[in-house]
Amino acid sequence: MIHFLTDKIVFPDVSEALSDGLLAVGGDLSIERLIHAYASGIFPWFEVDEPLLWWSPDPRFVLFPKDLKISKSMKQVLKRNEFQVTVNKDFKSVIVECALTKRNGQESTWITNDMIEAYMKLHQLGYTKSVEVWQNNELVGGLYGVDLGNKVFCGESMFAKVSNASKAGFITFVQNSNYSLIDCQIHTKHLESLGAKHISRQEFLKYL
CA-CA distance, 78 to 141, in Å (whole number)? 14
**In terms of C-beta density within 10 A (0-12 exposed, 13-18 middle, 19 or more buried), how is residue 104 classed?**
exposed
Position 106 scores a pLDDT of 46
List the CATH code of the domain at 3-58. Answer: 3.30.70.3550
Position 102 scores a pLDDT of 67
The three-point CA angle 126-41-65 to 5° equals 70
Position 47 scores a pLDDT of 77
Position 112 scores a pLDDT of 87
Position 119 scores a pLDDT of 97
Q: What is the mean pLDDT of the chain?
A: 93
Position 107 scores a pLDDT of 47
Position 50 scores a pLDDT of 80
Regarding beta strands 128-135 and 84-87, do their DSSP bridges make them parallel or antiparallel, or are they unpaired? antiparallel
Residue ranges per domain, the chain?
Answer: 3-58, 61-207
pLDDT in tens, 106-163: 444 568 899 999 999 999 999 999 999 999 999 999 999 999 999 999 999 999 999 9
Position 111 scores a pLDDT of 86
CA-CA distance, 146 to 127, in Å (whole number)? 6
Contacts of 170 (CB under 8 A, 6+ apart): 131, 143, 158, 194
Positions in the chain whose pLDDT score sits under 70: 102-110
The CA dihedral of 90, 129, 7, 208, to the nearest 10 degrees, is 170
Position 105 scores a pLDDT of 47
Position 172 scores a pLDDT of 97
Regarding beta strands 22-26 and 138-147, do their DSSP bridges make them parallel or antiparallel, or are they unpaired? unpaired
Q: Topology of domain 61-207, per CATH?
A: Aminopeptidase (3.40.630)
